[in-house]
Amino acid sequence: MTRDAQPYADGGAEAPALVLSVPLSLWGGIDVETGRIIDRSHPDAGACVAGRVLVMPTGRGSSSSSAVLAEALRLGTGPVAIVLGAADPILTVGALVAETLYGVRCPIVVCAIDGIATGDRMRVSAANGRASIVHSSTV
């Protein structure tokens, strides 16, 4: 199933989805060395964002999440794309910094996220002011 989306950071990626039901602050929320979710109050604590298409309603919390995302993308422990229900300036900046400094692209797009489940195959593309996501259930 294909959906139109709004692009905030360009790029393309294909990977399984990790869907978070509540927003995660990356600062204090993930271990940047591994990409694992370490915020114990988060329902998905223990899951790993590395190599996944991270899907969540929106970002949350400290502006230091920009640097955490950039650092995770530098180390290869970050998500390969982020799909949000609402735009998030802090994550957008982190992705753009990583792209400029390290050439690592993590497309960030905004669209309706209902019906996407963890493990679904996802394809995200954003370029030239356009974006789309394709997802299909694995079962």
Partner 1 sequence: MRLTPVDTRMLNGAEGEGAAFAMRLLTSFAKALGAPSLLDITRAHIDGCLYHGVASLDFVERLVSGGARVRVPTTLNVGAIDLIHPELMRMPAAEQTPARRLMLAHQELGCEPSFTCAPYQTRFRPAFGEQVAWGESNAIVFANSVIGARTNRYGDFIDLCCAVTGRAPAWGLHLDEPRRGRVLFRLTGSPEPTESLFVAVGLFVGERTGERVPVIDGLPPPRSEDQLKALGAAAASSGSVGLFHAVGITPEAPTLRDAFGGAAPEETIEIRPSDVRDVLRRLSTAPDGEPITAVCLGTPHFSRDEWERFLPLLRAAAPRRGIPIYVNTGRATLRALESAGALDGLDAFGLRIVTDTCTYLTPILERLDGVVVTNSGKWAHYAPGNLGVRVAFGDLEDCLASAVAGRIERVVAW
Annotated catalytic residues are: 62
Q: Which residues contact 114 (CB under 8 A, 6 or more apart)?
A: none
Binding mask 76-95 for partner 1 (x = CB under 8 A): -----------xxxx-xxx-
Selected from 70, 80, 109, 116, the binder of partner 1 by CB under 8 A is: 70
Short-list 55, 60, 63, CA closest to 17: 55
Question: What type of residue sits at position 112?
Answer: A
Please give the structure tokens belonging to residue 122: 């996802």
Give me the 19-38 binding string for partner 1, x by CB under 8 A, dash otherwise: -------------x------
Task: Write out the DSSP string of 59-101.
Answer: --S-TTHHHHHHHHHHHT-S-SEEEESS--HHHHHHHHHHHHH
Taking CB under 8 A as the binding criterion, the range among 11-19, 42-50, 58-66, 114-122 that sits at the site for partner 1 is 58-66
- Taking the least distance from each CB to partner 1, the nearer of 17 and 70 is 70
For the CB of residue 51, give the shortest distance to partner 1 in the complex, in Å.
19
Residue 95 one-letter amino acid: A
Give the interface with partner 1 as residue ranges (CB under 8 A): 8-9, 32, 62-67, 70-71, 74, 87-90, 92-94, 96-98, 100-102
